[in-house]
Amino acid sequence: MISTARTAVVTKYVESKNRAFTLGFISSLTIVFSSISPFIGSYLYEKLDYNFQQLFSISILISLIAIIPLIILVRKYEIIERKEKSLGIIFQIKMIPKIIAYKDLKEIFFISMIDGFAWSISGNFFQIYLAKELSVKPFELAILNLIENIIAIFGLTYIGHISDRLRKRVIFLFISEVLGIFSLLFFIMATNVFQIFFIWILQAFVWIIWSPIISAYISEKAEKFFSKICTPNAGRMGLPQ
């Protein structure tokens, strides 16, 4: 839910030429805090005499802090959003076949589905495989995740910036896909943890290239599609006027 809302907000308020950079920067900030918080949680857990309830209560209190700016934002944009004409849910559902069939979107939708399916088949078994087949220790897994997060913190923003400047989203997606295939091949052939470190770095680049750029690409093409709905020629295009 948060990821979808984040992309929607960025699409609405950020121009296309800066969109991948913004999406990458926001993701980087999220990773920074999510990387620090487990250490803080571990420290608090020990200081609270291993009391789970108190630790969960702290999370609740911190979450409540976010409610205050959200209330302000809701009040601020409620008037603006009321004035804007929104598309009804029935209309949007009816648009799904046309969106999928739209020339600039159908290929990327197909690629996303195939790519997501391929990675989800084996994704949950990576760390199990490392622990069972290569005897990778828990602290080594933690180091791998730390390396991935460090690369993501800096890489997501920078890759998004490069993509915005070059305006060549598809090339970056192609590079990401190729790197992903090679990283899986190397993963299968790996025989020790040192090789895994290299592979993990490679997979981190796969993620930081793919994540902000595909969101920016789809949002740009979707904007183009929905802009045609409001044109006088919409009816001749098979779209509602």
* Phi-psi sector, 49: left (phi>0), alpha (psi -120 to 50), beta: left
pTM of the model: 0.63
d(CA 235, CA 238): 5
Distance (Å, whole) CA 213 – CA 229: 25
Q: What is the pLDDT of residue 17?
A: 66
More reliable by pLDDT, 237 or 201: 201
DSSP state letters, 44-80: HHHHTTS-HHHHHHHHHHHHHHHHHHHHHHHHHHHHH
| The residue to which tokens 């790996």 are assigned | 190
Q: How many helices (H) and strands (E) does the chain have?
A: 9, 0
Instruction: Dump pLDDT digits (tens) for 46-87.
Output: 788 877 788 888 888 887 787 777 777 666 655 545 555 555
Q: Judge residue 152's burial from the number of C-beta atoms within 10 Å of its C-beta, 0-12 exposed, 13-18 middle, 19 or more buried.
A: buried
Q: Give the integer Cα–Cα distance in Å for 36 and 28.
A: 13
Residue 12: its pLDDT value, please? 62
Q: What is the pLDDT of residues 100-157, one digit of tens each?
A: 676 767 777 788 788 878 888 887 788 888 888 888 887 788 788 888 888 888 888 7
- Which pLDDT value is given to residue 112? 79
Q: What is the average per-residue pLDDT within 235-240?
A: 39
pLDDT at residue 13, as a whole number? 59
Residue 239: what pLDDT? 40
Question: What is the pLDDT of the chain when averaged over all its residues?
Answer: 75
The predicted structure's pLDDT at residue 232: 44
CA distance 145 to 147: 5
Share of the chain above pLDDT 70, in %: 72
The helix-helix angle for 193-229 and 2-13 (nearest 10°) equals 50
- For 210-222, what is the mean pLDDT? 79
Q: How far is CA 35 from CA 41, 65, 152, in A?
A: 11, 20, 11
